[in-house]
């Protein structure tokens, strides 16, 4: 679905869908349409999966519409945002122990967080239930991260940061306990998913969509 069409025409096309997925990507085209789609999924309890950019936009949507941080955004799209809930991490340690540095003028390819990195999942979280383990090792391809300076404010309003990198404590998964199935991941599960061995997140997402569809059918029959 074209997110620019959602920007122009509203979320009418989303009515009746059984799940919403916003994948990874770069650039600001269609961003506000994607945020509207996420808001629709959150408010209407539609299963939602956000991958990389899709997780970041879920954080922005929550910051704006639940936490009340007007103008919250990513510095990728608005360098002057009053609330940079998504921002460029300028320094981090790679898995070999070396310190990597970057800024907004750095070469894109050379300054991404790339490759497999481990993360710890919170006990009792949806992510922990889906994976069936307390640590995961997933592959990344991105530059921007959830800004740790805003994490507590997000948590105070109900957002759960259920996965963190073990070294830098960067946000890896987010979810919303008040929602039947809403999860975002900073990594790319499609990098390790195959037709014969689907990634646990995709399997759980499809199951949630089917359950949502079945619940609508029961409601219609009851009516």
Return the pLDDT at 93: 46
Task: Please state the pTM of the whole predicted model.
Answer: 0.89
Given CA atoms 114, 120, 122, 124 in this order, what sign does their dihedral have? positive
171: domain CATH number? 3.40.50.880
The predicted-structure confidence for 117-176, as pLDDT tens digits, reads as follows 889 999 999 999 999 999 998 887 778 999 999 999 999 999 999 999 877 788 999 999
Return the pLDDT at 74: 94
Strands 20-22 and 48-51: parallel
Which residue segment(s) compose the domain that 151 sits in?
3-222
CA 45 to chain centre: 16
> In the predicted model, what is the mean pLDDT of residues 204-215?
96
CA 101 to chain centre: 24
Residue 92 scores a pLDDT above 80: no
| Active site positions, annotated | 52, 188, 190
- Total number of domains in the chain: 1
Rounded to the nearest integer, the mean pLDDT of the chain is 88
Residue 112 pLDDT level (bands cut at 50, 70, 90): low
Top mean-pLDDT range of 28-32, 64-68, 73-77, 88-92: 64-68
Return the pLDDT at 109: 42
Cα distance between residue 28 and residue 173, in whole Å:
22
């Amino acid at each position: 679905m074209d997110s620019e069409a959602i920007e122009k025409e509203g979320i009418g096309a989303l009515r009746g869908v059984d799940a919403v997925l916003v994948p990874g990507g770069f650039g600001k085209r269609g961003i506000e349409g994607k945020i509207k789609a996420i808001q629709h999924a959150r408010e209407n309890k539609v299963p939602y999966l956000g991958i990389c950019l899709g997780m970041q936009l879920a954080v922005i949507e929550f910051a704006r519409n639940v936490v009340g941080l007007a103008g919250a955004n990513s510095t990728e799209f608005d360098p002057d945002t009053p609330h940079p809930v998504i921002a460029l991490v300028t320094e981090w340690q790679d898995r070999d122990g070396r310190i990597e540095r970057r800024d907004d003028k750095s070469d894109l390819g050379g300054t991404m967080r790339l490759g497999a990195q481990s993360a710890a999942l919170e006990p009792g979280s949806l992510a922990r239930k889906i994976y069936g383990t307390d640590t995961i090792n997933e592959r990344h391809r991105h530059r921007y991260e959830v800004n740790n300076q805003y994490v507590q404010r997000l948590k105070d309003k109900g957002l759960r940061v259920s996965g963190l990198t073990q070294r830098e404590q960067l946000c890896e998964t987010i979810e919303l306990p008040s929602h039947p199935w809403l999860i975002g991941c900073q990594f790319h599960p499609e990098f390790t998913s195959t037709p014969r061995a689907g990634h646990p997140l995709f399997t759980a997402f499809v199951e949630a969509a089917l359950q949502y569809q079945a619940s609508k059918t029961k409601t219609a029959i009851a009516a």
